[in-house]
């Protein structure tokens, strides 16, 4: 069936070896006018080199302040079927395992009530249902909750859908239950997720180890990253097997052929703290100097494993550039045992939010509030003790805000006595 709009430019994107989203949309377009008009609108964007969507209005499901991104096209005259084209963010199950049963049901709902197009997944982690009309929002929500046991994710100034790496489900290095932590946060803070009451968005991301496969440190207001505080477990036999060429280095990530590992060059020399030694027979790690960067473990997964006294490092404040510039997460809790019922963590989160809600300005991310008011204010509000692990270096400017409580007489002088000592 020929489609309504000519799409010569988009057609170019049907070529080449990578799966083509154009070809994929086209097959839906044959039966769904929404997808058909989307193609037309997109072709026009390619011609103009400008997008054709207007700002979204406030649309959503009753009682929720987020989860739906309203979107209207600026040429409904030409593309009436995408005049409304709202997306719904559906909260993904932690680490994104699915049964085909639930996926098929989701497809059925979306075939019927939406564009038939999705993003699997959005950058935050949600299942993105791309494009529907306002009147379909409630029915879809009803079916999601009733038939699939699924709920919407976050948008607006609320807690955003937390996400995590695959963790213990299929990774040998996970030091924490990333899924369970994500589920716990999501469930405990449903209200915060659905009803915007923060100064701005707030994101949690959880990785099982410092490899950080969910990029938590770069894009979560609160990053939970698994770590350990005892010793790396060593199987010396296996170390020798790597050196002897019996095991493939780095689990095959650099080629699956067997080859002798040059342990000095590939491991010892790349250890950031130089805390390892290889005497030709045994590998020695000075664990007290190890900063748990994972490199040696990554290279010799069958010989080295994280320790057993596991927990997490908590960092806060990561974000994209708007307004004050991008930030990476900063360590505020070097180590916390992350075990159910996660009470200590909840207390921390709630103190953090109370402070941010009290002090944060409109559209100010947590990291920016901390920048503006200082780390001290944050640590005091969350009752954390300052620790050198929180900084790369102590301050190098002398602009110290001394605490008047520690100064004899506080901030006050005795001007009269001063002028008796010092004549003007």
Partner 1 sequence: MPFDPNDIMKDRITDIGPPKYDKFFPPVIKENYGKWKYHEILEPGVLVHVSETGAEVYTVRVGAARLLSVDLIREICDIADKHCGGYVRWTTRNNIEFMVDDKSKLQPLIDELKSRGNWFPIGGTGASVTNIVHTQGWIHCHTPAIDASGIVKAVMDELFDYFGSHKLPAQVRISLACCLNMCGAVHCSDIAILGVHRKPPFIEHERVQNVCEIPLVIAACPTAAIKPKKVGDYKSIEINEKRCMFCGNCYTMCPALPIADGDGDGIALWVGGKVSNSRTAPKFSKLAVHYIPNEPPRWPTTVQTIKKILEVYASDARRYERVGEWIDRIGWERFFEKTGLEFRHEHIDDYRLAMTTWRTTTQFKF
Residues in contact with ligand SRM by the rule CB under 6 A: 69, 71, 87, 89, 95, 119, 121-126, 128, 153, 161, 165-166, 171-173, 201, 203, 211-213, 215, 219, 250-251, 253, 298, 319-322, 365
Establish if 285 lies at the interface with ligand SF4 (CB under 6 A): yes
Site for partner 1 in 89-108 (CB under 8 A): 91-104, 106-108
Minimum Å distance from CB 211 to ligand SF4? 4
Q: Measuring CA to CA, how many Å separate 65 from each of 59, 126, 157, 158, 191?
A: 9, 16, 9, 8, 10
**Residue 279 in contact with its own copies, rule: CB under 8 A:** no
Q: Does 284 bind partner 1 (CB under 8 A)?
A: no
Measure the CA–CA gap between 154 and 194, rounded to whole angstroms. Answer: 6
* Count of chain residues binding its own copies (CB under 8 A): 19
Tokens of 80: 């009436």
183 interface partner picked from ligand SF4, partner 1, its own copies, none, CB below 5 to 8 A per type = partner 1
Q: Where does residue 73 fall: left (phi above 0), alpha (psi -120 to 50 degrees), or beta otherwise?
A: beta
Classify strands 68-69 and 330-336 as parallel, antiparallel or unpaired.
unpaired
Q: Could you tell me the two tokens for 265?
A: 């060059």
Tell me: does residue 294 bind ligand SF4 (CB under 6 A).
Answer: yes
Residue 227: phi, psi to the nearest 5?
A: -160, 180
Which helix (DSSP H) or strand (DSSP E) does residue 335 occupy?
strand 330-336
Residue 424 interacts with its own copies (CB under 8 A)?
yes
Rule CB under 8 A: is residue 335 a binding residue for partner 1? yes
Contact 94, 178 (CB under 8 A): yes
308 scored as a contact of partner 1 (CB under 8 A): no
423 binds, among partner 1, its own copies, ligand SF4, none (CB under 5 to 8 A by kind): its own copies
In the complex, minimum distance from the CB of residue 273 to ligand SF4, in angstroms, rounded to a whole number: 5
Residue pair 175/106 in contact (Cβ under 8 Å)? The answer is: no
> Exactly one of 399, 401, 402, 411 binds its own copies (CB under 8 A); which one?
399
Positions 254 through 283 that interact with ligand SF4 (CB under 6 A): 271-273, 275-276
- Angle at 216 (CA atoms; ends 214, 220), nearest 5 degrees: 130
**Cα–Cα distance, 316 to 349 (Å, whole number):** 11
Kindly give the residue spans of alpha helices, DSSP state H, lying in 211-259: 216-219, 236-243
Q: Give which of ligand SF4, partner 1, its own copies, none residue 182 binds (C-beta under 5 to 8 Å, depending on kind).
A: partner 1
């Amino acid at each position: 069936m020929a489609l309504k709009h000519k799409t010569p430019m988009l057609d170019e994107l049907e070529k080449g070896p990578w799966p083509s989203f154009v070809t994929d949309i086209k097959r839906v377009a044959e039966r769904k006018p929404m997808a058909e008009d989307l193609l037309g609108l997109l072709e026009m964007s390619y011609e103009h080199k400008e997008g054709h969507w207007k700002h979204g209005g406030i649309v959503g499901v009753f009682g929720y302040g987020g989860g739906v991104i309203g979107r209207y096209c600026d040429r409904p005259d030409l593309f009436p079927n995408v005049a409304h084209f709202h997306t719904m963010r559906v909260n993904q199950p932690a680490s994104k395992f699915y049964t085909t049963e639930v996926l098929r049901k989701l497809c059925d709902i979306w075939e019927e009530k939406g564009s038939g197009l999705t993003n699997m997944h959005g950058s935050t982690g949600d299942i993105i249902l791309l494009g529907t009309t306002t009147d379909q929002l409630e029915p879809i929500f009803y079916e999601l909750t009733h038939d699939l046991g699924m709920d919407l994710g976050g948008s607006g100034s609320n807690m955003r859908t937390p996400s995590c790496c695959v963790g213990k489900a299929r990774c040998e290095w996970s030091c924490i239950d990333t899924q369970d932590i994500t589920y716990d946060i999501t469930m405990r803070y449903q209200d915060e997720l659905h009803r915007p009451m923060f100064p701005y968005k707030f994101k949690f991301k959880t990785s099982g180890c410092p490899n950080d496969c969910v990029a938590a440190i770069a894009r979560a207001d609160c990053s939970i990253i698994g770590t350990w505080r005892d010793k790396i477990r060593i199987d010396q036999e296996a170390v020798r097997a790597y050196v002897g060429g019996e095991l493939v280095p780095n689990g095959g990530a650099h080629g699956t052929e067997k080859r002798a590992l040059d342990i000095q060059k590939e491991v010892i020399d790349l250890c950031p703290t130089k805390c390892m030694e290889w005497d030709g027979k045994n590998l020695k790690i000075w664990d007290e100097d190890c900063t748990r960067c994972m490199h040696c473990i990554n290279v010799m997964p069958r010989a080295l494993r994280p320790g057993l006294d596991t927990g997490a490092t908590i960092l806060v404040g990561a974000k994209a550039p708007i307004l004050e510039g991008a930030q990476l997460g900063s360590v505020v809790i070097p180590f916390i045992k992350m075990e159910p019922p996660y009470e200590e963590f909840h207390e921390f989160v709630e103190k953090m939010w109370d402070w941010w809600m009290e002090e944060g300005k409109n559209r100010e991310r947590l990291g920016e509030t901390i920048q503006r008011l200082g780390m001290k204010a944050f640590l005091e509000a969350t009752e954390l003790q300052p620790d050198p692990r929180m900084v790369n270096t102590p301050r190098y400017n002398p602009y110290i805000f001394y605490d008047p409580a520690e100064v004899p007489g506080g901030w006050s002088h005795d001007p009269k006595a001063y002028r008796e000592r010092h004549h003007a």
